Amino acid sequence: RKIDFRRNEKDISGRIVTIEYDPNRNAYICLIHYGDGEKRYILHPRGAIIGDTIVSGTEVPISMGNALPLTDMPLGTAIHNIEITLGKGGQLARAAGAVAKLIAKEGKSATLRLPSGEVRLISKNCLATVGQVGNVGVNQKSLGRAGSKRWLGKRPVVRGVAMNPVDHPHGGGEGRAPIG
């Protein structure tokens, strides 16, 4: 599944046809049918449903799923899939539930607060998609058992006190010995 992070179908409206699972990411993806017959996948914006219309370009409304340059957005807009270099495609705020905020526009650059809390300057001409990435609660979901965690490549964390002295500074002792 090739995801369209560039959103370069300018001023052609598209309709969300399906919302699908993507094994490569935590967010879902939407299949868009554009008016010119083109079909592309995009990241599923939170709250988007089948039948919604989305469009990218300069003179497009500020509504969820639409992609437009930072110049045309009001301050405080929640955005995702943000370009760093003009024309390269979105690289920031693409994970499930990710959202950045446009906090200032000065000269040729715009100031964004990214999901990590980092405040970053980006060219005002760069494209971004309005709204938040869907599947927000994915990291609150309980995996249920240790095996599910192992499938994700997470190994068990063993306490130092439970080890032998050769393995850890807290190891060894008879019974439950204190550290030190």
Statement to judge: residues 41 and 96 lie in one domain: yes
Q: Which two tokens stand for residue 170?
A: 């807290």
Statement to judge: residues 100 and 30 lie in one domain: yes
2 falls within a domain: no
Statement to judge: residues 102 and 151 lie in one domain: no
Statement to judge: residues 40 and 120 lie in one domain: yes
Q: Which two tokens stand for residue 17?
A: 């046809």
pLDDT given at position 37: 92
Which residues of the chain are under the pLDDT cut of 50? none
pLDDT given at position 179: 83
Q: Are 105 and 75 in contact, with CB atoms under 8 Å apart?
A: yes
Residue type, 48: A
Structural domain span for residue 155: 144-171
Q: Could you give the number of structural domains in the chain?
A: 2
Q: Pairing mode, if any, of strands 127-130 and 67-69?
A: antiparallel
161 falls within a domain: yes
pLDDT given at position 9: 84
Statement to judge: residues 91 and 160 lie in one domain: no
* Long-range contacts at 74-78 (CB < 8 A, ≥ 24 apart): 74/102, 75/102, 75/103, 75/104, 75/105, 76/101, 76/102, 76/103, 77/101, 77/102, 77/130, 78/130, 78/131, 78/132
29 falls within a domain: yes
SS3 138: helix
Of 54, 102, 58, the closest CA to residue 77 belongs to: 102
pLDDT given at position 104: 94
Structure confidence by residue, pLDDT tens digits, 49-82: 999 999 998 889 999 999 999 999 999 999 999 9
Q: What count of other Cβ atoms lies within 10 Å of the Cβ of residue 19?
A: 14
The Cα–Cα gap between 149 and 142 comes to: 10
CATH of the domain at 89: 2.30.30.30
